[in-house]
Chain A
Amino acid sequence: MASLDDLKKRIASVKSTQKITKAMKMVAAAKLRRAQESAEKGRPYSEKMNNVILNLSNGISDKENAPKLLSGTGQEKTHLCVVMTSDRGLCGGFNSNIIKKAKSYFAKILDEGKELKIITVGSKGNDQLKRVYGDKIIENISFKESKNANYFDADKVGKMVIQKFEAGEFDVCTIFYNQFKNVITQIPQAQQIIPLNNEGEESNSEETYEFEPDEDEILSNLLPKNISTQIFKAMLENSASEQGSRMSAMDNATRNAGEMVDKLTIEYNRSRQAAITKELIEIISGAESL
């Protein structure tokens, strides 16, 4: 059995760990509120954008000559995957969940004999992927300096993706991120953004629009913007998910630390009692032998 002194030290160390996790939980909770708010505020933009594109692509007359961002290159040989993770750790299964989802997708693609290219956003994802898929990662972006997810950063990623698409470096682009459902549940998502996959989504309006200039021109102007918007949406969802995930992870850690302190305290008291009993026995047996 550990000595009394050792136990005392362990209790103290677990208690100070508990303090840290508790503080992290509080910070995450505060940040979560802000992240959630901005995720909700950002929704109208991406929804409206989606709606407009839906209306446009329904109205487009010549499907054959539709912009490539909408209809694809006509083949599916090279896949680009944008894996969006956090820059910081200690957020439970947040990063591993995205990576797991991404890895199973990668395996599927490689099984089919297709080419794979990866862009990682966030350093944690890069750390986890570079061991196995190091040679596939073509770009690693991290927005450590940015405090909150902002559109400017998303636009940078979006422009990069579009530039690579126009250079013919890939045919299909998928982004991986965590969708924020609530504090306990975040759903890892794989969303295809190029070509735009909106089959099965019905436009909710029967309305016919007037277009100025014509559909094709608006579409080719709008689609690149939509890429950035989708990436921005993913970033917002991700940052809310990250804080939510961290909050529940730190909550668990605090609770576990509490349980551990209780257990250690009982053990400490027991060994103290045992030591006292031992001393008493010694004294009594010593007195008896006289």
Chain B
Amino acid sequence: MSEEFKVEIVNPEKSFLVKDDVSEVVLPAFEGEMGILRDHISIISFLKPGIIKILSKSGDENYYVEDGIVEFKNNNLSILTSTVFNLADMDKSKQQVLLKEAEEEANKTDINDQSKYLADQKVEVLKTLN
């Protein structure tokens, strides 16, 4: 019995990534990090800003996401997100731009608690990358 399942990352413009030899995915779920293995129970959850780790035979990959919804069903993991970057393709200047944007957002005073929390998260994650 294989230990692999399929993962698909979709953004509004296109299907960003499809991989079907994945052994584990670690997601920055809203209530904490969540690891998904084969035959996980069907689950729907949403993401906070963070890093998605995809572990597979062909090598590990890391993606930065700002938001998203995950659905796991029948060993298919779908991740819907509006902002996703492959960390391998992301250089320092791009990170700086994102960090600056996030910091500006976090320093706004007229936003509600939840957006404030999300913006803080963004800053935190981006800082650890540098």
Contacts and interface: CB of A to CB of B under 8 A. Distances in A.
B12 interface: yes
Contact of B42 (A154, A207, A218): A207
Interface string A205-222: 101111111000010011
Contact of B11 (A45, A155, A210, A213): A45
Interface in B71-120: 71, 73-74, 78, 80, 82
A210 B82 contact: no
Interface in A43-62: 44-46, 48-49, 51-52, 55-56
A150 B11 CA distance: 11
Contact of A151 (B13, B43, B67, B73): B13
B12 A209 contact: no
A208 B45 CA distance: 14
A212 B45 contact: yes
Contacts of B31: 212-213
B14 to A, nearest CB: 4
A56 B13 contact: no
A15 interface: no
Nearest to A220: B114
A225 B44 CA distance: 15
Nearest to A210: B43
A38 interface: yes
A42 B12 contact: yes
Which of B11, B44, B46, B69: most chain A CB closer than 10 A? B44
A51 B43 CA distance: 13
A154 B13 CA distance: 11
A41 interface: yes
B58 interface: no
A221 B42 contact: no
A106 interface: no
Interface string B41-52: 111111000000
Main secondary structure of the interface of B (DSSP, over half): strand
Contacts of A218: 44-46, 69
A211 B70 CA distance: 10
Contact of B10 (A38, A44, A56, A225): A44
B15 interface: yes
Given A42-B13, A44-B15, A212-B31, A49 B69 contact: yes
A56 B31 CA distance: 18
A238 to B, nearest CB: 15
A46 B69 CA distance: 12
A55 B78 CA distance: 14
A52 B71 contact: yes
B63 interface: no
A96 to B, nearest CB: 29
Given A213-B31, A222-B69, A41 B13 contact: yes
Interface in A218-249: 218, 221-222, 225, 229, 232
A211 B30 CA distance: 11
B13 A52 contact: no
B43 A41 contact: no
Nearest to A232: B12
Contacts of B11: 45, 151
A52 B44 CA distance: 8
Nearest to A52: B71
A38 B14 contact: yes
A16 to B, nearest CB: 39
Contacts of A232: 12
B46 A42 contact: no
Contacts of B73: 205, 207, 209
A73 B43 CA distance: 29
A-B pairs, top 6 by smallest CB distance, nearest first, are A41-B14, A151-B12, A212-B45, A210-B43, A45-B10, A209-B42
